[in-house]
A = this chain, B = another copy of it.
Amino acid sequence: MRALEFSIQKKDPTSRARLGCIKTAHGNIETPIFMPVGTRAVVKCVTNQQLDSIGAQIILSNTYHLMIRPGIEILALAGGLHSFMKWDKPILTDSGGFQVFSLAELNKVNDDGVHFHSHIDGKKLFIGPNESMEMQKVIGSDIVMCFDECPPYPVDEAKLKEGVRRTLKWAEICRAYPLAPHQSLFGIVQGGVDNELRAQCAQELVKLDFPGYAIGGLSVGEPAELMYEIIDAVEPHLPDSKPRYLMGVGTPHNIVEAVKRGIDMFDCVMPTRAARGGTAYTWQGKIQIKAGRYAKDFSPFDPELDSYASKFSKAYIRHLLNVDEITGLTLVTIQNLAFYLDFMRQLRTAIQEGSFADFHRRIAEIYPK
């Protein structure tokens, strides 16, 4: 069981897009990749079997949520998350940082870490860099994220600088933590929408020589153009030979724009969350499948996609959601994730075949935002 190895197979001559492969102890990940989100040891509304059938190569899970329920003790007894949820492919876990800053009721943040209250039962809890590493070691994820401070957007400059200082301090502590041999730790670049601060943070992190780097704290309400600008400011400072992960992003359009700027990995709750609200991602664009216009539309859910869900008629899927049948949520979730994974597959093929610019235009037409 070794840590990850990253190789680049091809670079797009018209942009900074790269085609690569991350080798992990639990299997290979072809990049650029989208990671379905399995917050609480499951990707909502689907089974692992269904994830397998649509070609999911890696999933993301959330340390904060796992810590609250089922709790780290249960995961330790289970022998880690792979074994607990019976998912034998790679897993990436976030550090808990994002959730303690966005979900929990904060008590106190200092250089040791964050004192907070559980968003479920109000219980007093603490996570610092060592605690986050300890938990992620028990979880046994293949890719482990540094514990970082996630500022809100917008935020004042002093707080932003303080957050970056702390993020770097914690990154050093995390880097020194002895994870399991199969685990690889990614550093997280913070710095809000301050290009200079972002660049400094990236430079400092690179000195710690992480196996991979993430850009965090984006897609939190700032305009997409600003997000692209930040990627442009950070990317030149990241080593070419390491995978880059843009956390929590995003729409198909966002993803293709970020790939163009040299990003390799993505995660987002959008396809799974939207599914539960009846929004479907298809090769014909985003559709509200509950709309009355689909009541008698017997055309396939997505004629251009070869997934189990895509073959049912729009009228059938609409009926299921209309009568609150859970299987409807499952089928829309499969459609949305299958679309995202097929979109990434086609994106990789486009880089391989030298047609990335065409692919970019095509996506921008189907998903203008």
Do A316 and B86 have beta carbons less than 8 Å apart? Answer: yes
Do B84 and A313 have beta carbons less than 8 Å apart? Answer: yes
Do A86 and B298 have beta carbons less than 8 Å apart? Answer: no
A114-129: CB near B (< 8 Å → 1, else 0) gives: 0000000000000000
- A86 in complex: contacting residue of B86, B296, B312, CB < 8 Å: B312
Distance (whole angstroms) from the CB of A178 to the closest CB of chain B: 26
| Bound form: Cα–Cα A43–B311 in Å | 18
Copies in the complex: 2
The range of chain A's interface size is 35 or more
Do A316 and B77 have beta carbons less than 8 Å apart? Answer: no
Do B74 and A323 have beta carbons less than 8 Å apart? Answer: no
Distance (whole angstroms) from the CB of A65 to the closest CB of chain B: 8
Say if the beta carbon of A364 comes within 8 Å of chain B: no
* Complex interface: chain B residues within 8 A of A313 (CB): 78, 84
Do A69 and B323 have beta carbons less than 8 Å apart? Answer: yes
Do B77 and A298 have beta carbons less than 8 Å apart? Answer: yes
Can you list 13 A-B pairs with a CB-CB distance of less than 8 A?
A: A42-B325, A45-B327, A47-B331, A69-B319, A69-B323, A74-B295, A74-B296, A77-B298, A77-B315, A85-B316, A86-B312, A86-B316, A326-B326
A residues apposed to B, CB below 8 Å: 40-47, 49, 69-70, 74, 77-78, 84-86, 295-296, 298, 308, 311-313, 315-316, 319-320, 322-323, 325-331
